[in-house]
Amino acid sequence: MTLLIEAFILGLIGGAVPGPILTGTFTEILGNGFLRGSRVIILALIAETFGALIALYILYSLGLSEIIIQVISVGGSIVLFWLALNVWKIHEINTETKKILSFPKILLLTVLNSGYWLFWIAVGIPKALLLDQKLIGGKFLFLISFELAWLLMTFILAFTFYKFRPILQKKNLIGVTFKILAMILVILGIKTLINVF
């Protein structure tokens, strides 16, 4: 159960961290309204889920032992600390890029996003495989929990941005929000290390 909760929390944070998809969503909202921004979110969900399934299938097919999963998990905790450091430094969300995101562009952004692959290989998949050892189909439950939380957070942020753009673009509010998210990532990184040892 705790791994499912972790998946949900990681999904919420993943949906909140500014990247090309969130920036593209906000840009579409600014230029074309909430529905066009929502379209970007749905297309990104499809692309990112597809990529995570491919990575999950490849690593699952390798039949990794528990020791290898634990070693990767240690690397994953380091990735979480690194992400926390990057999230801590966020002070604003840049929406100045005027890019219309089509599905091929979103797919390309996903494929070329090293942070996405690093997260799934070092953090997401080891946790999904650990859950799979405890529950039948646990790896898919982990993925579903993560993606639902990502979708929920991204939609909440998109709608909030749509309704309260001037307030949300204040640097102080954004900085405090992302510092809280960074601390949650640090806690999850420490928890990952505790579970390994």
State how far the alpha carbon of 155 is from the alpha carbons of 71, 92, 121, 150, in Å: 34, 19, 25, 9
pLDDT in tens, 31-76: 678 888 899 899 999 998 998 898 888 877 887 677 777 777 788 7
Give the pLDDT score at 143: 93
Burial 80-119 (b: 16+ CB within 10 A, else e): bbebbeebbebeebebeeeeebeeebbbebbeebeebebb
Nearest Cα residue to 147 out of 3, 11, 9, 2: 11
Look at residues 195, 2, 184 and name the one whose alpha carbon lies nearest to residue 81: 184
Total of domains in the chain: 1
Nearest by Cα to 35 from 155, 187, 192? 155
Reported pTM: 0.74
**Contact at 8 Å (CB) between 148 and 11?**
yes
Please state which of the ranges 116-130, 135-149, 159-173 shows the lowest mean pLDDT: 159-173
Q: How confident is the model at residue 95 (pLDDT cuts 50, 70, 90)?
A: low
Task: Print the domain residue range for 144.
Answer: 2-196
Say which amino acid occupies 111. V
